[in-house]
Amino acid sequence: MLSEFKAFIARGNVLDLAVGVIIGAAFGKIVSSLTDDLIMPLISLVTGGGTDFSAKYIVLGGADKVQSGMSLAAAKAAGANVFAWGSFITAIINFLILAFVIFLIVRQANKVMPPPPAATGPSEVDLLTEIRDELKKK
C-alpha cells in the first residue's frame, strides 16, 4: 500500500497540482495586497472616502444599533443589517486582477507549448464516402 501511495504521489499530475495550489495561494496573497494596499486606497482617495474602501457599507436595518463612524465589523457585531458594498467591490477587483493574470499566463503557455498532434485516421469525407459506397451495395 505504501508503494502504491508513493507511485501515486510521484506521478507528474499530482506534483503539478500540489505546486499549483501552493503557488496559487501565495499569488492570491500578492493580489489581495495589491488590491487592498495599493489600488483601493487610490480609488478611495478619488471617491472622497476614507482610507479603507472595503469598510464602506450602508445600514439596511437596525440603524439604532449603529453610531456614526462605526466600523463595518462593529456594525455587524452590534447586530445591524448592513449592505457591505465596499468589501464586495474589493472582492470583484481582486477577482478581475487574478483572472487577468491567469489569462496572461495561459496565453503565454499556449504560445510556448507545441500544438497537439493532428488526429490520425480517416477524415470525415473518407468515412462518408465509405458509408455512401456501402449503401450503394445494398
pLDDT tens digit sequence for 27-80: 888 888 888 888 888 887 887 766 677 788 888 887 787 777 788 888 888 888
Q: Any idea what the CATH number is for the domain that residue 85 is in?
A: 1.10.1200.120
Quote the mean pLDDT of the chain. 82
For residue 9, the model assigns a pLDDT of 66
For residue 27, the model assigns a pLDDT of 86
- Asked whether residue 66 is domain-assigned, the answer is yes
Written as nine digits, the cell of 1 is 500500500
Q: What angle do CA 54, 59, 61 make, to 5 degrees?
A: 145
- Asked whether residue 104 is domain-assigned, the answer is yes
For residue 131, the model assigns a pLDDT of 92
For residue 18, the model assigns a pLDDT of 80
Long-range contacts of 18-27 (CB under 8 A, 24+ apart): 27/98, 27/101
- Asked whether residue 79 is domain-assigned, the answer is yes
Domain coverage including residue 83: 2-117
For residue 50, the model assigns a pLDDT of 64
Q: pTM for this structure?
A: 0.60
